[in-house]
Amino acid sequence: MSEVVVIGAGLGGLMAACELAGAGLPVRLISQGEGSLSLSNGTVDLLGYAPDLVWDPLSRINQIAPPHPYQVIGSDNVRRAVAALTSHLPDGYLVGQASQNQLVPTALGAWRPTALLPASLAPPQPKDQSRWLIVGFDRVKDFYPKLVAANLSRTKIPGGGRVTAIPVRIDLPDNPGLPGGDVSAMTVARAFDQPDFAAAVGRQLAQAAGQAEADAIGVPAVLGTAGHDAWRQVSQAAGRPVFEIGLVPPSPPGFRLNQLLLARARQLGVRLATGARVTGFQANQGRIVQLTTDAAGHGQTYEPTAVVYFPGGFESGAIAMDSTYNLAETLFDLPLAGLAPVSQLISPSYSPNQTIFQVGVQTDKAMRPLTDGGEPVYTNLYAGGGLLAGAIRWTEQSGEGIVLGSAMAAVRGLLDGIGQDLEPKLAAAHGRRTQLSSSHPGQTPNWTDGAP
C-alpha cells in the first residue's frame, strides 16, 4: 500500500500521523521545520469564550453560532480526539476533561479557561482563602511576579472570590549551564533537568512559601525540558503544590509535549521528513497524485494515496496575503471563504479580532476542502487546523480543539475514503500503550505521570 502523506508537524499533523500509523497505514510526515507545538503551553483549549465564558466546552461546541469550524467537526470528533491524544501520552500527563473548563493563571496574571492541561500546569482549585506564592526567577525574561500577583489578586474569579497572590523573586542557584545575562526559558529549563538543581530550587520555594504562609506556589513554566520529573522534584522539595504558569514562546511545556508526540510518531513508524517544504503538486482526475518538496539538490517527489494537510493558518503563512492585498492558500490554492476587500478585513482600529483571521478553507464532514460549488476540491485531500474558516482562535481559546477535532475528522474521513474500517484498528492502536523506545535520553516520557 502506498503511503499517506501528512503535511505539517504541529498538533494536528502529529495527531493525524500517529492515528493513521496506529491504524496500520504507512505514513510520511513532511514539515517545513518543526511544528508549532513548542509555541504553545501544551494546554488543550477547546472553547473558552463563545463569546461569554464557557464552562462546559464539549456541550457548547455543537451550539456555536455559524459559520464556525466546529459546525463541521462536531463535538464527537473533539471528544474522540482528546481521548486519542491522551492515549498517545503517558498516563496522567494531561489532567482535566473535555466536558469542563478550569481557570489557569497566565504570565500576565489573567485567568484563562482551558479544558485539559499538562499536570504540571494545573493549579489547585482557586478559592477565596487561597494564598498563592507567585515566584519569579531572576533569569526568566517573560515572567514578572509583581505584575502576575497583582493582577491575579485584583481579579474576581467567576463563581468564586479572589485569591491572595504574593509576589517574590528568587535568584536561581549558580549552575555552569546557566549563565547570567541573557538566557532563554529553555536554557533555564535545561538547568532544571538536573535533579540537584531542581531540588535546590524546591527548597528555596519551601522557605519563601513558609514565610509567606502560602498554600500553593506558582512559578514560570521552566521546570525541565522532558516530562514532569523536574516538576515533581521541585514540588517534593517545596512541600506544597507547585504549578507552572505558561510563558510566551518558546515554551518548555509545549516543547515537552512536542517531544512526546514526536517520539510516539517515531515509535509508530511514521517517516519524518523535517525541513522540507512542499512546493508543488500534481493532480489527476480530482486526486492529488504527486507532491514535490524543495529538498536540497533535486527536490523530492512523493506519490501519496491521500494527503492530510495541517499546515497552520495565518501564523505559519499557509494563508498569506501579498503586498497588493491578495489572499491565498499558498500550496494548493484552495478556495477561501470569507474573502472581502481588504478595508473590510483589516480595520483601522486595533483589535485582536480582525475579520481577516476568519478567512479560511471550508470542508465537508470528512475535512475535504470544498469548491465554491460545495464539491471536494480533491477527493483525497483532507485539511484542517488553522486553515479552517470562521474562528478567531486566540480570542475563543479554541485552538487545540479545532486542530484536534479536525485531525480526528480527517483521519476518520480518510479511512472511510479508502475503505478501511476505523474503529477496531484505532482501538487496537490506542490499546498499544507500549513504552517508547528508551533510545531517547532526555526525551523518555515517564509513563506513570501524575500529580505529586
Q: Which of residues 384-423 bind another protein (CB under 8 A)?
A: 393-395, 397, 399
Burial class of residue 362, CB neighbours in 10 A (0-12, 13-18, 19+): buried
Q: Which of 129, 323, 434, 448 binds another protein (CB under 8 A)?
A: 323
The site that binds another protein (CB under 8 A) totals a number of residues, namely 104
Q: Which of residues 344-363 bind another protein (CB under 8 A)?
A: 346-350, 352, 354, 356-357
Q: Is 35 in the site for another protein (CB under 8 A)?
A: yes
Asked whether the beta carbons of 133 and 216 are under 8 A apart, the reply is yes
Looking at residues 74 to 93 of the shown chain, list those that interact with another protein (rule: CB under 8 A).
none
Is position 38 an interface residue for another protein (rule: CB under 8 A)?
yes
Euclidean distance between CA atoms 91 and 397, whole angstroms: 25
Residue number with CB closer to another protein (88 or 393): 393
H-type alpha helices, 215-366: 229-238, 252-267, 342-345
Q: Which of residues 117-156 bind another protein (CB under 8 A)?
A: 136, 141-147, 150-151, 154-155
Binding residue for another protein (CB under 8 A) from 97, 99, 100, 106?
106
Neighbours of 154 (CB within 10 A): 10
Q: What are phi and psi of 40, to 5 degrees?
A: -100, 175
Q: How far is the CB of 40 from another protein (least distance, A)?
A: 7
Question: Which helix (DSSP H) or strand (DSSP E) does residue 190 occupy?
Answer: helix 185-192
User: Which of the stretches 31-39, 83-91, 228-236, 365-373 binds another protein when contact is defined by CB under 8 A?
Assistant: 31-39
Provide, rounded to whole angstroms, the least separation between the CB of residue 211 and another protein: 19
Residue 300 lies near another protein (rule: CB under 8 A):
yes
Q: CB of residue 361 vs another protein: minimum separation in angstroms? A: 16
Measured from the CB atom, the residue of 297 and 419 that comes closer to another protein is 297
* 452, three cell numbers: 505529586
80: left (phi over 0), alpha (psi -120 to 50) or beta: alpha
Q: Tell me whether residue 361 or residue 415 sits nearer to another protein (CB atom).
A: 361
| Residue 190 interacts with another protein (CB under 8 A): yes or no | yes
Site for another protein in 42-81 (CB under 8 A): 45
Q: Which of residues 192-211 bind another protein (CB under 8 A)?
A: none
In the complex, least distance from residue 63 CB atom to another protein, rounded to whole angstroms: 22
Rounded to an integer, what distance in angstroms lies between the CA atom of residue 294 and that of residue 287? 21
Q: How far apart are the C-alpha atoms of 90 and 449, rounded to whole Å?
A: 6
Of residues 235 and 305, the one with the C-beta less far from another protein:
305
* Residue 107 in the binding site for another protein (CB under 8 A): yes
Instruction: Reduce the DSSP state of residue 282 to 3 states and report it.
Output: strand
Q: Does 274 bind another protein (CB under 8 A)?
A: yes
**Lookup result for grid cell 508526540:** 261
- The reply on whether position 229 binds another protein by CB under 8 A is no
* Shortest distance, position 244 Cβ to another protein, whole Å: 13
Q: 194-201 long-range contacts, Cβ below 8 Å, gap at least 24?
A: 195/229, 195/230, 195/233, 197/173, 198/223, 198/224, 198/229, 198/230, 198/233, 198/234, 198/237, 199/233, 199/234, 199/236, 199/237, 200/173, 200/237, 201/170, 201/172, 201/173, 201/234, 201/237
* In the complex, minimum distance from the CB of residue 423 to another protein, in angstroms, rounded to a whole number: 28
Length of the chain: 452
Could you say which of 71, 83, 173, 325 contacts another protein (CB under 8 A)? 325
Binding of residue 438 to another protein (CB under 8 A): yes
CB of 75 to another protein, least distance (A): 21
- Are the C-beta atoms of 369 and 310 separated by less than 8 Å? no
Q: How far is the CB of 271 from another protein (least distance, A)?
A: 6
* Binding string, residues 230-269; x marks residues near another protein by CB under 8 A: ----------------xxxxxx---x------xx--x---
| 277 near another protein (CB under 8 A) | yes
118 pairs with which residues across the strands?
94
List the one residue from 293, 358, 363, 380 that touches another protein (CB under 8 A). 293
Select from 82-90, 204-212, 307-315, 372-380 the region that touches another protein (CB under 8 A). Answer: 307-315
- One-letter identity of residue 28: R
CA distance 198 to 373: 59
**Near another protein by CB under 8 A: residue from 75, 86, 305, 316:** 316
Tell me the three cell numbers of residue 176.
555552569
- Among the listed residues 195, 280, 317, 450, the single contact to another protein using CB under 8 A: 317
Residue 171 burial (CB count, 10 A): 9
Taking the complex as a whole, the smallest distance from the CB of residue 166 to another protein amounts, in Å, to 14
- By C-beta, is 178 or 217 nearer to another protein? 178
Q: CA distances (Å), 2 to each of 5, 27, 141, 444, in order?
A: 10, 9, 48, 31
- Please give the span between the terminal C-alpha atoms of the chain, in angstroms, as a whole number: 46
